[in-house]
Structure formats: C-alpha cells, structure tokens
Amino acid sequence: MAFVQQSSPHAHSARPTSRVMLWVLIAALPGLLAQTLFFGWGNLINVVFCIAVAIASEAALLKLRKKPVAFFIKDNTAAVTGLLLGLSLPQFAPWWVSAVAVISAIVVAKQLYGGLGSNPFNPAMVGYALVLVSFPVAMTTNWAEPAMLWDGAPGFGETLATIASGQQTAVDGWTMATPLDEYKHKITTHTAAEVLNHPTFGEGVAKGWEWVNAAFLAGGLLLIGLRIISWHIPAGFLGGLIVMSLAFGNNADLYSPLSLHLLAGGTMLGAFFIATDPVSAATSHQGKLIYGAGIGILIYLIRTWGNYPDAVAFSVLLMNFAVPFIDHYTPPRTYGHHKARRGVPGSQG
C-alpha cells in the first residue's frame, strides 16, 4: 500500500491561529464586562457592530482578492480587529465613526497590504487614529459618564438608538470628559486636590476606568499564562510609562500622577491586547522590550506634552514604523556564537 509521505516533524501541537485569536477574544471579555458594568451598554454594542463590520469587510476584500473567504474568516483575526476597535471607541460614538474606523482598518491597513501577516501597521490602531484625526468632536465628546449599568446608565434601547441615530454628539447628561482629559486640562489652573474633586475620578483613581484597566490586566495575564503573548511587550510598555512618569511627572500639581497613567485611559488594553499584535511588533525578546518601552515612552510624551489626552494609537503606530529598525539591531545570540549577528549581510552594524 502507499504510505503517506511527509516531511518531519510528523507531530504537531493543536493550537492553530484561529484558537490563538479565540483566546484573545475570550481574554478581553473581563474588560468588556467591566466596561459594560461601569459605563453602560455602549461598548458592548460597539464591539458587536465592529466585529460584524470587520468580518463583512474582510470577506468582501478576500472575495475581491480572489482568496478563499471561509478559510481566512475562520482564523478570527478580523474579529479581533473589530473587537479591539469596539473596546477602544467612545461608548456613544455614532455608528458611522465606528464603521469608518473598522473599514479603514480591515480594507486599507490589512487587506491592501496583503492580508493577514503582511500588514506593517496595527490595523485597529490605523482605524482608530484615522477617526480620531478626522472626527475629533465625535471622538472626544462621546465618552460615557461612569455610572453602574443597573444604576444611572442609559438603557440598552436608548444607547442603541443614540449610536444608530448618527448624531455627532450624544445626550449631554450621559457623557463626560475622560479622567486623563479632565486632569490634563484642569491641572494647569487648579491644584491636584481640586481637580480630583470632579466626579469622573470617583473614590479611587478614576471611577470605573480603574476596574476596566484591572480587568484588561487580568485578561492580559491570562494570555501570558497561556503563552499566547510573551511578557516582553507589556513589560516594556508599562515599564517605559512608569519610568517616564516617575522621572518627569512626580509632581501631581503639575502633571497627571502615575496611578492615573496606569489605570485610566487605554493603558492596559493597549499594553496587553493592542501593542502585542505580533504581525506589526518587533521579533526578538530584546526587540519586544525596546518596542514596548518605546510605546510607553511615547504615550507619556503625547499625554503630557501633546494635544491628545490619550495616545495609545499614535504611539503604537509610531513604533510600528520603528519595527524593521529594531529588528535590524536586536537579533538574539544563536547557540554557539559569541555574539548576535546584527543587521543584514553587507551592511554596517
């Protein structure tokens, strides 16, 4: 009889890309749950909508590119891109803002570059940065006021109607400046104690946000525990942010305190779920540390001295640019070699 002819190895572990992506989706659930509990239905609706749009646009583009649609949709990567945007966008962002973000992420940032594995930039962050620059009003005024889902937050129907209406700004009483935004703008004229009186900060560091960040941290640790992501990028990311904050901004009357940097805004989501997109990140352990640290440092710089209250998207994209450069200089030292062989043949370094 004819035996199967196959090149070694003959055994394979059973964790395909689709499963890896599924774990990312699962690990993000605690964060999504916290967002929903503390800020209402907005994020959940956005996540579902963004995932649907992501899969639809991925399918359309695969069809146009004459690629097997089902084969690639099943890898769950489009769903992850949709998820990340749904988690990042303001709760009351009008539907078309989300749609523009998702479509530009999938169509421009991913498929036009050659699809999965070929995109130099993090697709979700390309979409996010695009709508942040294009629709500044919709992207800054639609953040939900922290309010428990069962106590004070707008109902599901109302939230859905607001998002679906396509209005640039949502009902005034539902929204509030984010803690990072509030602190950054008030601290120039107020003391830290006065700024922190604002209801957006609540009892702890930043009402609601602290739990959301804690939940994303927990999900991120799960991913590290499952060896789906390595610890290097989050460690570099948070390390860079912490060092910058301690070195330049330890006066709470002048700058946002470290606690706010870590537990408000998209810090933990960015550190564990966004910056760790392997396709657009650096390769080696050392490179990942540098890449993560670069993002952390840039986030601090933009948050503190830039025009934007948060800066995950811009920082990630800027470091995406630097990835080939980082990879060039950070190959690991191979067994049996005295030192790493940097660069490419024929070049300096």
Partner 1 sequence: MTQLWDFSGGIHPPEHKDISTARPIRNAGVPDYLILPLQQHIGDPAEAIVEVGERVLKGQKIADVKTGIGVPVHAPTSGVIESIADFPVPHPSGMADRCITLKPDGEDQWCLRSPVADYRSLERDEVLQIIHDAGISGMGGAGFPTNIKLRPPRDRKVSTLILNGAECEPYITADDMTMREKADEVVAGLKIMAWILRPERCVIGIEDNKPEAIAALRKATEGTQTEIAVVPTKYPSGGEKQLIQILTGMEVPSGGIPADIGVMCQNIGTAVAVAQAVFEGTPLISRVVTITGEAVREPGNFEALIGTPIEHLLEQAGINQDAVSRLVLGGPMMGYTLTTEAVPVIKTTNCVIAATATELPAPPPEQPCIRCGQCAEACPMELLPQQLFWHAKATEFEKAEHLNLFDCIECGACSYVCPSSIPLVQYYRFAKGEIRAQQAEQLKADRARERFEARQARLEREQQEKELRRKERAKAAADAAAKKQAEAEKATDEGEAVDERAAKSALVEQALARKKAKAEASQPPGSSAAPAPSAPPAEQKPDIEALEKQLSQAQSKLDTMQGMLDYAKAQQADNVEKLERAVAKNHDRVQRAEEALSEAREKLAAGLTESQPTH
Cβ at position 218, least distance to partner 1 in Å: 22
Of residues 169, 259, 283, 304, which one binds partner 1 by CB under 8 A?
Answer: 283
Residue type present at position 214? A
* Number of alpha carbons in the 13 Å side-chain half-sphere of residue 239: 13
Per-residue binding string, partner 1, 168-207, x by CB under 8 A, is ----------------------------------------
Closest to partner 1 by CB, 248 vs 329, is 329
Alpha-carbon distances, residue 46 vs 18, 53, 55, 331 (angstroms): 22, 10, 14, 40
Cβ at position 123, least distance to partner 1 in Å: 12
Q: Could you give the CA distance from residue 206 to residue 265 in angstroms, rounded to a whole number?
A: 9
CA torsion, ordered 254, 260, 265, 268, to nearest 10 deg:
140
The reply to whether 3 sits near partner 1 by the rule CB under 8 A is: yes
The reply to whether 225 sits near partner 1 by the rule CB under 8 A is: no
Segment 115-154, which members bind partner 1 (CB under 8 A)? 115-118
Q: Do 285 and 332 touch, CB atoms closer than 8 A?
A: yes
Q: Could you give the CA distance from residue 347 to residue 167 in angstroms, rounded to a whole number?
A: 54
Of residues 230, 239, 248, 306, which one binds partner 1 by CB under 8 A?
Answer: 230
Closest to partner 1 by CB, 43 vs 76, is 76
Closest to partner 1 by CB, 158 vs 327, is 327
The reply to whether 20 sits near partner 1 by the rule CB under 8 A is: yes
Q: Which stretch binds partner 1 (CB under 8 A): 11-19, 177-185, 186-194, 309-317?
A: 11-19
What is Dmax (Cα atoms) for the chain?
A: 85
Closest to partner 1 by CB, 16 vs 152, is 16
Q: Could you give the CA distance from residue 61 to residue 64 in angstroms, rounded to a whole number?
A: 5
Q: Could you give the CA distance from residue 268 to residue 264 in angstroms, rounded to a whole number?
A: 9
Q: Do 81 and 110 touch, CB atoms closer than 8 A?
A: yes
- Total residues in contact with partner 1, by rule CB under 8 A: 45
Q: Could you give the CA distance from residue 73 to residue 51 in angstroms, rounded to a whole number?
A: 12
Closest to partner 1 by CB, 78 vs 258, is 78
Per-residue binding string, partner 1, 53-82, x by CB under 8 A, is ------------------x---x-x-----
Segment 319-348, which members bind partner 1 (CB under 8 A)? 327, 331-337, 341, 343-346
Per-residue binding string, partner 1, 92-111, x by CB under 8 A, is --------------------
Q: Could you give the CA distance from residue 82 to residue 89 in angstroms, rounded to a whole number?
A: 11
Cβ at position 27, least distance to partner 1 in Å: 15
Binding site for partner 1 (CB under 8 A): 1, 3-13, 15-17, 19-20, 71, 75, 77, 115-118, 227, 230, 278-279, 281, 283-284, 288, 327, 331-337, 341, 343-346
